[in-house]
Structures are given as C-alpha cells and as structure tokens.
Amino acid sequence: MSFESHWADTPPAAPTARPRGNRVVALLLVLAMSIGGGIVGGLIGSKASDSSSNGGPLVTAAPIKPENIGKTDIARAASTIAPSIVTIDSLSGTGESIGTGIIVSSDGEIITNNHVVEGSTSVRVRLNGTTAPITANVLATDAGNDMALIKLVNAKGLTAATFADPASIAVGDPVVAVGYALALDGGPSVTAGIVSALNRTLTDSNGALNGLIQTDAAISSGNSGGPLINLNGQVVGINTAVANGDSNTAANNIGFAIGVAEVQRVAALLRADAGGAVRAQGYLGISLSDRKDGGAGAVVAEVQADSPADKAGLKVNDIVLQINGQVITGQGALIAVVRDSAPGDVIKIKVERDGVTKDLTATLVARPKE
C-alpha cells in the first residue's frame, strides 16, 4: 500500500463559488437581518426624538479632493492588481460555479485553482470592467497542487500580474485578498489581513497542499483562484481554501493561499504539460501515520517490499524528520514532497529510530498506476 492513500486530517474546505440558488438564499438571510435591525433602530430613534426638542443637520466632513480619494495603501494595491483579475464561469455536468483567475501573460494565459475548472465542459472568462464573456480553453491541470492553466481565445494586450519575490514574504506582513466572492454583481471584492503563518501543509481528497500561506484576510466562495497580494499589488499567493469549524473545533478567519514559490514551480510544470510533456510523480513506497506523542514528523507505518524506501533502509516506526533539508511537520508534508519529486530523483531522508537520528538516501521511481 502506498502512503498516498492515507490521510489523517480532515480536508480543508475549498472556497469554490456556490451555485447561484444557494447564493440567493444566503443573501436573503442577510437582507432579512438587515430589515429587522432597521425596524428596531427606527423605534429607538422615534422614542429619542420625543425627548429632544433640538434637531439639526447631520455633521458632515469637508469635501475630499478627488486626487486624494482611493490613495490608501490597500486601495493602491487593489488598483494595481485589478487589470489582471478575471472572473471564471465554469460549466460542468453538475452545474455552474464561479471562481477567480490571474492573468499571467499578455496573450491570455490565466492561472486559477484546479477545483474551479475541474470537470468543466465549458469555461467562460470575463475581464475586469467588461460585460461580455470570452471563451477559454483548459490547457493543463494539477489536482494534487490545486492549480490549473487556462487560456483565452484570441486575446492580446492584456496586463499580466506581477508575482512577489518569495523571500520578501514574512509573518505579520499586511496582505489583501482579491476575488469575486459569492459571485456578487460588480467588480471583485477586496479584503485585508496579515500573513498569519508560512509553509503550512493541508491534506485534501487529492493529496496534500504544501507551501501554503495562512492569512486572516476573509476568503469566501468565489475567491478561489484569485490573488493574495502585498501592498505593492504583487501576488504572494493564490487563494485556495478556508478552515471550517465543527462540533469539536472552532475556526475563525483562517484561510490559505498557495505560496508564490509553489505557484511559480507548478506554473512551469503546467506550461510543460500544455506543451505535451509527460510528467510522472515520484514514488517512495511507504504508508504513514501521525505521531501520537505530540512531536513533529511522520511515522512510517508500512514499507513496501523492494520499494525505494525498502532499499534505502527505512523501517516501520521510523519517524521522518526531514527530506532534502526540508522539515517534515506531519505526513501531509512528506506526501507533498515526494509527489512533487520526479522518478530518478535522489532524496536525503533524516529519520529518528529508537531515539537515534539516522541519515538515509533513496532513489525514487515512477508512481505505479492505480
């Protein structure tokens, strides 16, 4: 049994756009709450007016010069990225969904989430500030990394987004999420927050997402595939998932974006795939479990005979701490590292065995067909 089939964590919720019918229900609920608040406010205001004999006009601020409107850091960042943001309307056998995309070339290449266009029979794109949709073709997808490359038909002269230097991103930095949240009418929504954490890893139904940026900027259905940007309007990540609470846990303002380093790496692979290159995933030949003692790392639960792991000397109950110097915080991180490697790659594995640290080397092979 290969380790890719073992998932210990609850998958994060991907913020794909909801079907339009659900969207109407949600908006009606908000409207009802607003009307109720208006009635209560009106009653209180009526009583207050009865006890006051003096009235007057509302106190208003002096006019702001037009050239000073929209000049905050967030407004400038949103304005910078705006020409490079599109709304994606994807039709499939199960219905319609709305997501967001980022223009990455002047001739119409667009990066978005795989789950925005997965299973699509038709993809239509609308540029920011326009009314007519443009047909797009899906060039390549990567479900494991939740990214897709699509391209507009007969497009030219578009404004490509600028991607930030991965080394320029730090915890605590202000960031802005931009996208077509809830497929609301008009332009994209803008929400602000900070980088809450770097290099997060989450498991989902397709494997594991690594190199994620955690943020408290609000991410909603329809934001999927849209950019998380810095205050220079540069893309630092692609919004892809939110954490939802359940009966045992609470999750507030926890969203995730695929970090720019991962975006750049996977975008290059998608372009190669679109050009006809055949890509195979690496395979180590182990199954995993989580540590139960509160420590970091992934525990080897099974080693397939004659696999790269077996030949490297990995043993059941070994705790994998690092691969190629990258810290393995849990089984999801290990899954992602091996998946993103290629057959023939040599990886260095640091494990803990019976309290002793050992360094092993394995040469990956191609992942067997299911």
Place of tokens 């609308």: 126
- Active-site position among 115, 142, 307, 341: 115
Other Cβ atoms closer than 10 A to 139: 16
CA gap 121, 29 in Å, rounded: 32
Where residue 21 falls (left for φ over 0; alpha for ψ -120 to 50; beta otherwise) is alpha
Active site residue 115: yes
Is the separation of the CB atoms in 224 and 183 below 8 Å? no
- Active-site position among 189, 220, 221, 224: 224
CA gap 205, 55 in Å, rounded: 62
- Active-site position among 2, 90, 97, 146: 146
CA gap 223, 255 in Å, rounded: 11
- CA triplet 44, 47, 51: central angle to 5 degrees? 135
Quick one: which of 210, 202, 294, 283 has its CA closest to 3?
283
Q: Rounded to the nearest 5°, which phi and psi values hold at 191?
A: -130, 150
Q: Rounded to the nearest 5°, which phi and psi values hold at 64?
A: -90, 135
Could you tell me whether strands 298-303 and 319-323 are parallel, antiparallel, or unpaired per DSSP bridges?
A: antiparallel
- CA triplet 266, 270, 271: central angle to 5 degrees? 120
Q: What is the DSSP letter of 119?
A: T
Quick one: which of 239, 263, 262, 225 has its CA closest to 177?
239
Quick one: which of 348, 205, 339, 203 has its CA closest to 281?
339
Active site residue 224: yes
Catalytic residue IDs: 115, 146, 224
